[in-house]
Amino acid sequence: MSKKEIPLSVDALNALTETYPTPFHIYDERGIRENARLLQKAFSWNSGFKEYFAVKATPNPYILSLLKAEGFGGDCSSYPEMVLCDKVGMRGEDVIFTSNDTPAYEYAKAKEMGAIINLDDISHIAYLEDHVGLPELVCCRYNPGPLKGGNVIIGKPEEAKYGFTREQLFEGYLQLRDKGVKRFGLHTMVASNELEVDYFVETAQLLFELVAELSRTLGITFEFVNLGGGIGIPYRPEEEPVDLLALGEKIRVLYETSIVQAGLAPLDIRLECGRMVTGPYGWLIGRVLHKKETYKNYIGLDACMANLMRPGMYGAYHHVSIAGKEQASCDYLCDVTGSLCENNDKFAIDRSMPDVEVGDLAIIHDAGAHGHSMGFNYNAKLRSAELLLRENGEVVQIRRAETMDDYFTTLDFNGFEQFVV
C-alpha cells in the first residue's frame, strides 16, 4: 500500500498509451502550480523574493513558461539553458547564471541577456573582466567548507568543487568594489535533496551573518542572498515534504534579528530550487515487458536508465507502483529493471511489489526533476516523450520521443566508405 499517487486512473493511462507509446514522462500542471504558489506564499513577507527555477531539472519551455507565469525566474548553468529562458521570455535579472568552469562565450551571453552573473571562483573576476567586462551587478558563490555539514548527493562542502572560500570572498568583493562594481549578491548551495527545515535556516543564518560582516568590512551593500536550491522531496512514501510555510517563517524571524535590526534591509531572498518545484509532479510510465525468475526475481520494463538515471547513478530511491494495483498487498520481492547492458540499470532493488503481470503499467514516481533531463543515449536508447496533464484534464505532448534519425543525425554516413579503403 502506498500514499504515492498519480492523478490519472489506470484506464486513462492505458488510453494515453494508444497515442503515446510507453515509456513517457508525464507532468501535472495543477500540482506544479499549486506548489509554486505555496513557495511564493511562504516568502511573501520578503518583497524582493524570487525563486529561480533550476532549468537543468526540467528544461522544457512549457514547464518554464508556466513557472514564469507563477513569477519564477530561471537558474542556468549553460548557454542553451540561457537560450531556453530567453525563448520563454525570462529576461534580464529574472535569469541567474550560476556556472562553474565557465567558458568566456557563456559569460558573454549572460551579460548580453542582462542575467545576474554568479561567479564560482575568485580567478573568474579577472577572467570576466578581461573577456567580457564586469557588469554592474555581480554575485559570488560561497563554499563554507568545514563550517557546514554536507549531504549525500552533493557531498561535504570542503570536497565540493564549487565556490569561493571565506577568505576569498572578502578579497573577491574588495576587488569587485575597487573595479567599480556597484551592486552585489551572495550565493551558496550546500545541500541537495535535504528534507530538514533547519538545515536551510542555518544556511540562511550563515549568509545573513556573512552579509553583515562583508558589508561592514568593505562598505558595500548587498541586494540579495541566494540560498541556492536543494530543498528535498519525499521520494520514500514514509518521508514528509519540507514544510515550506514553516521554512519561510523561520527565515523571516532570523531576517528580523540579523538583517532588519542590523540596518541591512532591504535584502532580497532568492532561491534556485529545481527538485522541489517539479519533482513530485512528474512520473515515468513504462510497461512491464518481462518477468524473470533466476537467482532473484526481476520485472523488466520498456523504460530504462536512459529515461531516469537517478537510481543507477546514486542508488536513489524512486517509488514504483503498478497502475490499478495500488491497493494490492506487496508480497513479490524483486528488482525492477531496464534493458541496458549495465547491471546497475535497475529502478528498484529488492523491492516488494504487488503481483505484477506482463503488460501492466509501472509508474515511477517523483521523476519530474532530474529525470528526463539527465537522460542519455547509451546503448542507442532513445529518449522518451514528455507529456503535460493540463488543469482541464487534457494531455498535451510537450516533447516528442526521439527517433532513430535523431540518434543518427550527428553521424556522417556518406564519409566513412571512402575513409576505410
Interface residues toward ligand PLP, by CB under 6 A: 54, 56-57, 75, 98, 189, 192-193, 228-231, 272-275, 369
**212: amino acid identity, one letter:** A
Which is nearer to ligand PLP, 122 or 276 (by Cβ)? 276
CB 67, min distance to ligand PLP, A: 13
Give Cβ neighbours of residue 155 (< 8 Å, ≥ 6 apart): none
Q: Which residues lie across from 234 on neighbouring strands?
A: none
Which is nearer to ligand PLP, 188 or 337 (by Cβ)? 188
Q: C-alpha cell of 389?
A: 496533464
Which is nearer to ligand PLP, 133 or 149 (by Cβ)? 149
CB 51, min distance to ligand PLP, A: 10
**385-389 vs 395-399, strand pairing mode:** antiparallel
Which is nearer to ligand PLP, 275 or 381 (by Cβ)? 275
CB 75, min distance to ligand PLP, A: 5
Rounded distance, CA 354 to CA 324, Å? 10
Rounded distance, CA 48 to CA 204, Å? 16
CB 360, min distance to ligand PLP, A: 30
CB 135, min distance to ligand PLP, A: 19
Which is nearer to ligand PLP, 189 or 301 (by Cβ)? 189
Which is nearer to ligand PLP, 157 or 230 (by Cβ)? 230
Rounded distance, CA 275 to CA 369, Å? 5
CB 115, min distance to ligand PLP, A: 14
**385-389 vs 346-353, strand pairing mode:** unpaired
Q: Which long-range contacts (CB under 8 A, 24 or more apart) does 60-67 make?
A: 60/372, 60/386, 60/398, 60/399, 61/87, 61/88, 61/398, 62/388, 62/396, 62/398, 63/27, 63/32, 63/278, 63/388, 63/398, 64/88, 64/90, 65/89, 66/29, 66/32, 66/33, 67/32, 67/36, 67/277
**24-28 vs 50-54, strand pairing mode:** unpaired
Which is nearer to ligand PLP, 73 or 274 (by Cβ)? 274
Which is nearer to ligand PLP, 270 or 351 (by Cβ)? 270
**Cα separations (Å) of 138 from 59, 90, 195?**
25, 19, 30
Q: C-alpha cell of 266?
A: 532591504
Instruction: Report residue 151 CA to chain centroid gap.
Output: 16
CB 39, min distance to ligand PLP, A: 12
CB 275, min distance to ligand PLP, A: 4
Query: What three-state secondary structure class fits 363?
Result: strand
Which is nearer to ligand PLP, 20 or 162 (by Cβ)? 162
**Cα separations (Å) of 324 from 11, 241, 284, 361?**
8, 25, 16, 9
CB 138, min distance to ligand PLP, A: 16
CB atoms within 10 A of CB 203: 23
CB 54, min distance to ligand PLP, A: 3
Which is nearer to ligand PLP, 230 or 311 (by Cβ)? 230
Rounded distance, CA 333 to CA 298, Å? 9
Tally the C-alpha atoms within 13 A of residue 172's C-alpha that lie toward its C-beta: 28
